[in-house]
Structure 1
Amino acid sequence: MDASRGCQVDGGPRSGDMGSLVGPTLLWLQDVAAVMFLRARRTFLQAAILLCVLFLLLWVAIFLYGSFYYSYMPTASFSTPVHYFYRTDCVSSRSVLCSFPTANVSLLKNGRDQIMVYGQPYRISLEMEMPESPVNQDLGMFMIKMSCYTNEGQIISTISRSAMLHYRSSLLQTLGTLLFSPLLLSGMSEQKQLIEVELYPAYSENSYLPTTGAVIEIQSRRVQIYSAQLRIHAHFTGIRYLLFNFPLTSAVLGVASNFIFLSVLVLFSYLQFIWGGVWPPELVRVRVTMTDRTRRLQRRDEAQRRVINSDKVVEGSDPANGPPPETPADSPRKGQRRRGWRDCVGWGAILPECGQQVCLTALSLFYRRS
């Protein structure tokens, strides 16, 4: 009985010691968990803000590059059909027209936007589908004339070029007909030639007289044409050449350059915000003000020392170092001289040193003459 009681009495303090150790440990673990949670939350928020800022900078960089590309790059190529018209109010044979075939072509995109821009050379060519008919083969060479005009109808450029069908002998025509007879009979192929005539190798737009249209005339009454297309191609050089021929590489470099530039601006703004809180502008302003006041006080003390030394200057000394010595005849003007001299020195504390020297020299000359 006594032994059991003794054991129970001894076990009581041991359980209390364990409880006293577990309680602070749990509190410490709770504090550590709270601190770790706060740190993780802060890190997550900082990472989220950083990702949002980077995404915004990337979007702005892409937008800036797209805007630059759209405004800087002109139309690379343009093609429009050419519809010819001619007179029919005359008596002529079946193979001769009443007038030259003429077409009026608009050089505006969607009827309002300019195709060609100033400073960019363009290659203008006319593409015609002509049948290998006996009339065209006997036609030989013919002239094509193109006249560019402005919105007011003023002709600003005219050019003429010659063209003709490619020569094919009768034997070659016979062999070609026999070889491609299945395609010719099925309608999948035709006996025609595609003639391309270069009208302008490097046409340049006039900024004061922009081109809005062109008149194309075939100077032959016997020509036979299936269809025609006017094609305009831009000859890019420099940056435009790189942007057009290497679009992916140019886009990556352009977006990366914009992104780096914007990132540097944001970084400098952030550092300015931090440094502005550490060193407020009021402190800098106080330092500058105290420095200016100290300089003014030093100038005033120096001016006072010069006034004191000026009273002790002997005659024949340099006027710039002080006033001339007083004589009994000058005793009535003693106060006036000293006041004038002090005024000069006082103004010299504010004005540059050269202004003080001029004032002292003038007073010395005045007193000597008087």
Structure 2
Amino acid sequence: MTERGRSDFFQPTMFDLGFVTTAFNIFMNIIDPLQIGRKLVLKPIAKLLIDAFEEYKVKTRDKLETTQNAILKLIAVITIFFLLFCGAVLLYIFFYLSYMPTVIHVKPAYMQYTKICDGDSKTCDFGSKMSGYHTFPTSHLQLTKKQLMMVGQPYVLTIKLELPETPRNQELGMFMLCMDMKDKDNILKSNSCRSTMLRYRSPWLHKLKTFLLFPLYLFGYEEEKQILDIEMFSNYIDTTNPVTDIYVEIQSKVVEFYSVTLQISAHFTGLRYLIYNFPIISAIIGIIFNLTILTLITLLVWYQYDYEMEWVDEARNRYSFKRPKTYDTKCDRKESSSISTTDENVSILDNSDDKFELDDDVMLFGKHDRKTEE
């Protein structure tokens, strides 16, 4: 048998289905000739099964629609929450950048000497040990053309001196360090002078330190130097006319130094102190606060423009008070006037009917009197 013959053999035909249907009807007519069993048993069972299937199908469709709606609502809620969270984070970042100033500004001060010549000589050739041929070392630091320090924020201004432990510096003793602060119009805003010196070390202590750190000194990992931190201003507050130029002067002609650095540090108090010292906790609190505000605004907008939601209508009906009816519009006034006019017309008609009835009675009574007189 070929493949086509096998497929035709196993494929049902209309004759086969008709034969099966006819055989089933003959069998049922033989068993139940009066169709009592079919009407009282099979038909109710079939109807019950069909109803149950239809009910199950409806419930399944409703559950499917409910699930789809729930999924769509969940996606919408997650999307809105994500956007609100991003907005809260951006708002906190904007607040942090606008409210918190830069913590530390560091600027190197390049010290300069000015030669001083005696008499009519045009050149000055001075040695390292001679101090009468040049001025004090000075430096001009230009902060910015606008404003570097935030208005109202306290700052600490410190000069860092890197001094070698040379015999000259050790013999120098005390010397003065001065700072002048000027605005863009070259007007002096504030000045300060502080005295300083190298820290003293006894010869035995110096020898012991040199002996212990000899390998580090030998390979260049350590140097015989001291770094002095001189606090020039401890609580400087800039104004709307900001400081733009700073002049630093070391009032010693024989001092030897490696570098001079100006450090401007913000001294935080209050909310800025909490944000700077506890950044993670402050960020969490700030983002949660912004998220709460944005959520409330979103809910208010949703409440204002979405009138078709059932829970909004229920909440509005629950918390709204019924106001007495007032006639504010022209239509209400027209309706009220038409109603009053109609009432007046009805009352007039009623009165006229009563009057007509009275007139009829009077007329009848007058006719009766005439008849009696006659």
Same fold (TM over 0.5): yes
Q: CA deviation at 1:95?
A: 2.6
State the one-letter code of the partner of 1:91.
Answer: D
Q: TM-score, normalised by structure 2?
A: 0.69
Match of 1:346 in 2: none
Q: 2:213 is matched with which residue: 177, 180, 187?
A: 180
Quote the residue 2:98 is aligned against: 71
Higher relative contact order (CA 8 A, sep 6+): 2
Q: Do the aligned partners of 2:146 and 2:242 also contact (CA within 8 Å) in 1?
A: no
Query: Displacement, 1:272?
Result: 3.0
Which stretch shifts more, 143-152 or 4-13?
A: 4-13
Q: Distance in 2 between matches of 1:154 and 1:284?
A: 69
Identity among equivalent pairs (%): 32
Aligned to 1:266: 298
Deviation at 1:21, TM superposition (A): 3.6
Out of 109, 116, 140, which is 1:104 matched to?
140
* Structure 1 unaligned residues grouped into runs of 5+: 298-370
Residue 129 of structure 2 is aligned with which of 95, 105, 108?
Answer: 95
Larger Cα Rg: Structure 1 or Structure 2?
Answer: 2
Give the TM-score normalised by structure 1: 0.70
Name the residue aligned to 2:345.
none
Equivalent residue number for residue 197 of structure 2: 164
The equivalent residue for 1:217 is: 249
Q: Distance in 1 between matches of 2:325 and 2:129?
A: 99
For structure 2, the residue ranges without an aligned partner over 5 or more in a row are: 1-25, 116-122, 338-374
Closer, same or farther: CA 274–123 of 1 in aligned 2, 3 Å: same
Secondary structure of 1:223's counterpart equals coil
Could you tell me whether the CA contact under 8 Å between 2:146 and 2:244 is conserved in 1? no
Alignment of 1:172-251 (within 5 A): 172-207=205-240, 209-251=241-283
Number of equivalences: 289
CA distance in 2, matches of 1:117, 1:25: 78
Aligned partners of 2:162, 2:327: CA distance in 1, in Å? Answer: 84
Give the AA of the match of 2:102: T
User: What's the secondary structure of 2:328's corresponding residue?
Assistant: helix
Change (3 A) 1:150 1:18: same
The SS at the match of 2:265 is strand
Which of 174, 178, 189 in structure 2 is aligned with 1:145? 178
Q: Does 1:289 align with 2:313?
A: no
Instruction: Tell me how far apart the structure 2 counterparts of residues 95 and 199 of structure 1 sit (CA, whole Å).
Output: 29
Paired amino acid for 1:205 = D
Task: Using the TM superposition, give the Cα deviation of residue 274 of structure 1 relative to its aligned residue in structure 2, in angstroms.
Answer: 4.7
What is the identity, as a one-letter code, of the residue corresponding to 2:305? F
C-alpha displacement at 1:270, in angstroms?
A: 2.4
1:344-363 equivalence runs, <5 A: none
Determine if the alignment matches structure 1 residue 127 to structure 2 residue 160: yes
The offset of 1:143, in angstroms, is 0.8
Amino acid of the structure 2 residue aligned with 1:218: I
Asked if the contact 1:75/1:115 (under 8 Å) is kept, the reply is no
Identify which range, 185-194 or 174-183, moves more after superposition: 174-183
Q: Contact conserved, 1:79 with 1:230, CA < 8 A, in 2?
A: yes
The alignment's C-alpha RMSD in Å is: 3.3
Q: Is the 8 A contact 2:109 2:262 kept in 1?
A: yes
**Structure 2 letter corresponding to 1:154:** I
Q: What SS class does the counterpart of residue 181 from structure 2 fall into?
A: strand
Change (3 A) 1:5 1:242: closer
